């Protein structure tokens, strides 16, 4: 069905006009967008995502993209006869896995996103946490190998790029005291960057409608108390653990709005930012 048969001209005009107060409110503000590996599997959806990012930039909002790539790393490991192992949503990362992680994230995944944003008319620049000395890390837990715990973030390279109208696209890789590489969960990087950049919003795009309860129903809003309950009873598990932890940290540290939204819904991010409609799960700081 073409979109013209769904929306009348008046409806389209109403939707566009609705965006104006949001464009005004968010002009000049930074929004950190976590683009999860599970949300980037469909070419048409990837193009829609890139268009949304460019549109945000063109209306004066500063998008900063932090990408994941868990499933893409998994595919590459499989080719080498290896299988990923996760503990509490973190990939156990031996030296060989670290090489694959860097090669996949800073290679094909990042370059695909950069290419699509540029094709859509933006000026994207791919970075890892090494660039501009952005993300310093240390070992999180020796049992997880080279999984990084962020010790410091220097966002000056991101700010410089933003000021020159570039769109930063960041791979979640950090570096340590001896210049060693660290694999950091992309949700954690996005949340920490949102905090240091004092972002207006942190949007996390995944392959689920939002946070679901035990019955699989969408929870549209989550308070800290409810998050504690859902974590304690195991409703929040696997990849949702670092996502929620990052969301909570960001919400508590002054990021105005933190949303977990469905990256499989075309333009969900744009609708969330530029209309009065609520999508996915919003995490509250109290």
Ligand X SMILES: CC(=O)N[C@@H](CCC(=O)OP(=O)(O)O)C(=O)O
Residue ranges at the known binding site for substrate: 69-70, 91, 183
Q: Whose Cβ is closer to ligand ADP: residue 70's or residue 122's?
A: 70
* 172 is a site residue for ligand X (CB under 6 A): yes
Output the smallest distance, CB 109 to ligand X, in A.
9
List the single partner that 91 binds among ligand ADP, ligand X, none, CB under 5 to 8 Å by kind: ligand X
Binding mask 186-215 for ligand ADP (x = CB under 6 A): -x------------------xxx--xx---
Q: Whose Cβ is closer to ligand ADP: residue 18's or residue 237's?
A: 237
List the single partner that 73 binds among ligand ADP, ligand X, none, CB under 5 to 8 Å by kind: ligand X
* 45 is a site residue for ligand ADP (CB under 6 A): no
> Which residue's CB atom is positioned nearest to ligand X?
68
Strand partners, 257: 201
Q: Which of 32, 100, 101, 274 binds ligand X (CB under 6 A)?
A: 101
> Which residues inside 99-158 make contact with ligand ADP, applying CB under 6 A?
none
List the single partner that 62 binds among ligand X, ligand ADP, none, CB under 5 to 8 Å by kind: none
Q: Whose Cβ is closer to ligand ADP: residue 3's or residue 214's?
A: 214
List the single partner that 183 binds among ligand ADP, ligand X, none, CB under 5 to 8 Å by kind: ligand X
> Which residues inside 154-193 make contact with ligand ADP, applying CB under 6 A?
187
Rounded Cα gap, residues 156 and 183, in angstroms: 21
- Measure the CA angle with vertex 139, ends 257 and 184; round to 5°: 40
Q: Which of 139, 231, 235, 253 binds ligand ADP (CB under 6 A)?
A: 235
Which 3-state string (H, E, C) describes the chain? CCHHHHCCHHHHHHHHHHHHHHHHHHCCCEEEEEECHHHCCCHHHHHHHHHHHHHHHHCCCEEEEEECCHHHHHHHHHHCCCCCCEECCEECECHHHHHHHHHHHHHHHHHHHHHHHHHCCCCEEEEECCHHHCEEEEECCHHHECEEEEEEECCHHHHHHHHCCCEEEEECEEECCCCCEEECCHHHHHHHHHHHCCCCEEEEEECCCCCECCCCCECCEECHHHHHHHHHCCCCCCCHHHHHHHHHHHHHCCCCEEEEEECCCCCHHHHHHHCCCCCCEEECCC
- Interacting residue ranges for ligand X, rule: CB under 6 A: 36-38, 68-70, 73, 90-91, 101, 147, 172, 183-186, 239
- Interacting residue ranges for ligand ADP, rule: CB under 6 A: 36-39, 68, 70, 187, 206-208, 211-212, 235-240, 243
């Amino acid at each position: 069905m073409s979109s013209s048969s769904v929306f009348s001209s008046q409806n389209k005009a109403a939707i566009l006009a609705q965006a104006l107060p949001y464009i005004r409110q968010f002009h000049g503000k930074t929004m950190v967008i976590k683009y999860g590996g599970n949300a980037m599997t469909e070419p048409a959806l990837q193009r829609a995502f890139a268009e949304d990012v460019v549109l945000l930039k063109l209306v004066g909002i500063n998008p900063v993209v932090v990408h994941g790539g868990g499933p893409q790393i998994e595919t590459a490991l499989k080719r080498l006869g290896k299988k990923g192992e996760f503990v509490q949503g973190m990939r156990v990362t031996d030296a060989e896995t670290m090489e694959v992680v860097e090669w996949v994230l800073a290679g094909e995944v990042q370059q695909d996103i950069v290419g699509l944003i540029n094709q859509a008319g933006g000026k994207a620049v791919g970075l890892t946490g090494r660039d501009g000395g952005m993300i310093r890390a240390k070992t999180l837990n020796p049992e997880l190998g080279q999984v990084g715990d962020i010790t410091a973030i220097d966002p000056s390279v991101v700010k410089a790029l933003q000021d020159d109208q570039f769109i930063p696209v960041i791979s979640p890789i950090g570096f340590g005291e001896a210049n060693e590489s660290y694999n950091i969960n992309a949700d954690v990087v996005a949340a920490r960057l949102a905090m240091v950049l004092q972002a207006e919003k942190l949007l996390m795009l995944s392959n689920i409608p939002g946070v679901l309860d035990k019955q699989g129903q969408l929870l549209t809003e989550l308070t800290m108390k409810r998050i504690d309950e859902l974590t304690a009873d195991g409703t929040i598990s696997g990849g949702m653990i670092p996502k929620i932890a990052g969301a909570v940290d960001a919400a508590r540290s002054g990021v105005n709005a933190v949303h977990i939204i469905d990256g499989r819904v075309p333009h969900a991010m744009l609708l969330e930012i530029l209309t009065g409609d609520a999508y996915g799960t919003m995490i509250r700081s109290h």
